Structure formats: C-alpha cells, structure tokens
Amino acid sequence: MIKIDLDVSQASDAAVELADARARYAAAQTRLHQAVLNAAIHPELRTLLTADSNLTAREMEIVNAMANGAENNEIGDRFFIGINTVKTNIRTAYRRMGVSSRAQAVRWVIQQGLDAPGLSAPLANWHRRT
C-alpha cells in the first residue's frame, strides 16, 4: 500500500484534495477504457488485454459473449465448443475475476472496459439508467 502524506489542516483543503483526486481518477478510468477499446481492435494486442485481466483469450471471448447477452448454448455454437467446455471456462473465469454470478461478471467486464468489438455493440455505449 502506498502511503500518501497530505497537508489538509482545514476541511476545505480536504474537500479540494478529494475533488481533485476524484477528477484525476475519472480521467484515468476514461483513458484506460479508451486504450483498451483501441487495443482490442488489433488482434496482436489482445494478449495484452487478457494478461491485464488474468483471463485467457478464450475466457475473455466467452465472458464478452455473456456480457453481450449470449446464453451458454449460443456461446458453444459461436465458438464451436461443447456446453461443458463453456461451463468450465465460465467457472474458471469467475474464479479469476473474483465473482460468483453472471451479473457480477458482466459488471466486472463493464468496469474493466474489456468489451471486445465485433461481438455486438450494446456495452460500447452502455450507461446506467437514472
């Protein structure tokens, strides 16, 4: 853990520092998301994306298909693998992502900005409804 030493003797100083840190964090998330989308366009860079997420390329494809609404049998048909192989890949991906459900996996994909183009477009412009 990185120790950060801030001089925030006044509440207003702390508020300014917090606002600044949030703005920098949001900007970094946006840059990361854009960089991941740009890298996903190039097949030779996809190994970098999966290395960052600790998922294999196949697990990433399956998780992206799940995030885009595909059922297990559709995933198997799309990638020419059996339903048990799909389930095994999903279980392994869940463990590597630290999630325990399909909904959590989709949320993880969105948070990581790892939606690969070419599967379908819903997550590219995804935003939370208010």
Successive 10-residue mean pLDDT values, the chain, 130 residues: 63 82 83 70 60 75 87 93 95 90 85 56 45
Predicted confidence (pLDDT) per residue in 53-82, tens digit:
678 888 888 988 888 889 999 999 999 999
Cα-Cα-Cα-Cα dihedral sign, residues 57, 37, 87, 54 = positive
CA 60-33-100 angle, to 5 degrees, is 40
- pLDDT for the residue 128: 45
Residue 41: both structure tokens together: 């366009």
- pLDDT for the residue 37: 66
Is 130 within the bounds of a domain? Answer: no
Burial of 92 (0-12, 13-18, 19+ CB in 10 A): middle
Is 59 within the bounds of a domain? Answer: yes
Is 123 within the bounds of a domain? Answer: no
pTM across the whole model: 0.51
The domain that holds 50 is classified in CATH as 1.10.10.10
Is 122 within the bounds of a domain? Answer: no
- pLDDT for the residue 110: 75
Is 121 within the bounds of a domain? Answer: no
Is 39 within the bounds of a domain? Answer: yes
Cα-Cα-Cα-Cα dihedral sign, residues 103, 105, 93, 98 = negative
Helix (H, G, I), strand (E, B) or coil at 68: coil
Domain that holds residue 88: 11-112
Is 6 within the bounds of a domain? Answer: no
- pLDDT for the residue 120: 43
- pLDDT for the residue 91: 94
Q: Total domain count for the chain?
A: 1
Nearest CA to 92 out of 124, 117, 60 is that of 60
Residue 29: both structure tokens together: 């998330």
